[in-house]
Each structure stands twice: as structure tokens, then as C-alpha cells.
Amino acid sequence: MIDRKHPEYQYLNLAQDILDHGSDKELFFAPEIKKQYEEKGEQPPFIRSVFGRQIRFDLSQGFPLLTTKKVFLKGIIYELLWFLQGDSNVKYLIDHNVHIWDDWAYKNYLKDVEIGIKPKITIEEFAEQVKKEDVDSEFVQKYCELGPIYGRQWRKWRAEGGREIDQIAWLIEKIKKTPSRKSMIVCAWNPEYIYEMALPGQSMALPPCHTIWQPNISDGKLSLQLYQRSADLFLGVPFNIASYSLLTILLAHVTGYQPGDFVHTFGDVHIYSNHFDQMKEQISREPRPFPTLKINPEVTNIDDFKYDDFTLENYNPHPTLKGEIAVIGGF
């Protein structure tokens, strides 16, 4: 018997809603990305989207790592640790064999290929070169630095007078001291570094899709709501659900609360046209019980967590479903 109450059906039903009722929209692609599609003899994808949706997960009922396809937990953990470090250079991820941000660094490299100052290499060759380089090398700094994206805004928001604001440290302090506050918000959307609002050369490589999030303390539990302005349902959202659920668990742990709900609120949530078939296959699969995620209880400072402090138990997903990422610059 199919358990239609399984929380993963929120995700699957949203996918069906988009396929059935979404609006088709063309996308903006930078010239160097358009050329990649031309070289492969392919048309760039479009998206089918809806606007304004919400799903939520009770974290006491299991860790919401989707089961209708295998989700890359290693990448989720390393990416969140990268954010929490305030880092914005993808070498950290590449060095740990996490390649979810490679496309944006490679896009930077392709710009120099276009003007003839760098030879054409594959993205795999690019990643191998990054591994060989020191983090302070010209190559890594020029191509792998993505600008003031998520982690930099969370931990090093640049303010007047040269100050840097650590939103995470402030947030944790306020949760501990005044948990009933409704002003505990972390924001990654900084207009000073976005598109034409930024000074020349200072724009982020990817304007934040998950733009703002807010914890709430009620009945001894810490819940968290994320507002995501733009959401790639097939590739990105499974990652985002798990990542911000993990963040909720970490914040609860270091402030002395039990995890509550993760609430995921979407602006434009969409499926790329080259993911339609994979999405339909995923919808046809029956969800399985969510796994359990355990964290090292001895770590009490959010800055001290390492990859080995996390253990996933009883994860039994359906097989992986692959899809090509579309690097369009955050539109």
C-alpha cells in the first residue's frame, strides 16, 4: 500500500504541478555557454515554472534526504561547511572531490578561452589543474573565486567603515540570549554585488538563489524557514532541502534546542526542459522511509564541525537520476 502521507510527496506533487500547469520561459545564456550548446549541436533548455509554493519537513520524523533518487550527501555536507567557513573559492570543494560548483569556475575560464588567451580544456581537466595549484595561485584566484556569494555574505558582510558583519555569530548569540526575537534573519542578497548594481568587476558569479532564512524557537524546538527566489526542482531543490535541514539541526544542536521543522518557501520554482523525462521517472517512484542523520555530540561550536562528524543511517534510495546543470548566471 502506498503511503501518500509520506512527506516526500510534497516534492513529487510539486513536480507534477509544474509539469501540468507551469508556464514555459526562455532563459538567458552567456555567449560562452551558448557556444557550448552549439558545439554539441543542441538547443539550450527552457524552464517550466510556477510561482509561490511551500513545503515543510518535521525533522523529528527523519532526515529529509529524498529517496526517490539518490542524493549526494557528501556534497551537501562539504558545501554547507564551505558556506559556514565564509569561503567563496571552489578549490576547497574540488580538493574534496565535490564538483557541484565547478561549472561556474569553468565558466570564468571559458571567458579567457573565448578571447584566445587560454587553451580549450575539458571541465575535468580544469578541475585537475585546480587540484595541482596552491589556493593563492593566480590560476585559482582568477577562475575559482566566485565573489561574495553565500558564505561570504553569511560570515563577512561588508559594511560601512570597512566593517565585516558575521551574521551567523550574531544569530547564534541572539538565539541563546533572546530566543523569542523575530528579527533573527540571515540574508545573502546584497545588491552591492548583484548584476549592474555592482561596481565593475565586483558582481557575484551567481546571485543567491536561497536569499534569506529565519529561525524560530517554539516549545523547545528550533525551526527554520528559507525563502528561495529561484529553485531548480530536479537538481537543486533536493540538495537545498537536505542542506538547510542540516543547518537547522546544527543550529539547534549548538544552541541547546531540539530540531523542529524545516520550511521551504519558493518564489519561481521550475524544471528545466532537459530534465522533464528524469522528473517523470522520479514521480513514478514510491518514496521510502527517510534516513537518520547523526552528528558528533561533542562538537558544540558551529565553526568546529568537520565532515567526519556526520553519520547517515538507513538510507535506501532508488537509483540515481542524472541531469545536466544549466549555467545561466542566476537569472
Confidence of residue 195 (pLDDT cuts 50, 70, 90): confident
Three-state DSSP state, 48 = strand
Burial of 70 (0-12, 13-18, 19+ CB in 10 A): middle
Please state, in angstroms and rounded to a whole number, the distance separating the CA atoms of residues 298 and 206: 35
Cell triple for 234: 530536479
144 catalytic residue (yes or no): no
pLDDT single digits (tens) 57-89:
999 999 999 999 999 999 999 999 999 999 999
Catalytic residue among 209, 247, 252, 326: 209
What is the rounded radius of gyration, in angstroms, for the C-alpha atoms of the chain? Answer: 20
pLDDT single digits (tens) 259-280:
999 999 999 999 999 999 999 9
**Domains of the chain (ranges, CATH numbers):** 8-87+209-313 (3.30.572.10)
Lowest mean pLDDT segment, chosen from 4-13, 20-29, 199-208, 216-225: 199-208
Residues in CB range of 241: below 8 A, 6 or more apart: 11, 55, 57, 64, 65, 66, 262, 264
CB atoms within 10 A of CB 258: 13
Of 39, 43, 50, the C-alpha closest to 16 is 50
Tell me, yes or no, if the pTM score tops 0.85.
yes
pLDDT for 41: 81
Confidence of residue 207 (pLDDT cuts 50, 70, 90): confident
Cell triple for 306: 568537520
Asked if 179 and 189 touch (Cβ cutoff 8 Å), the reply is no
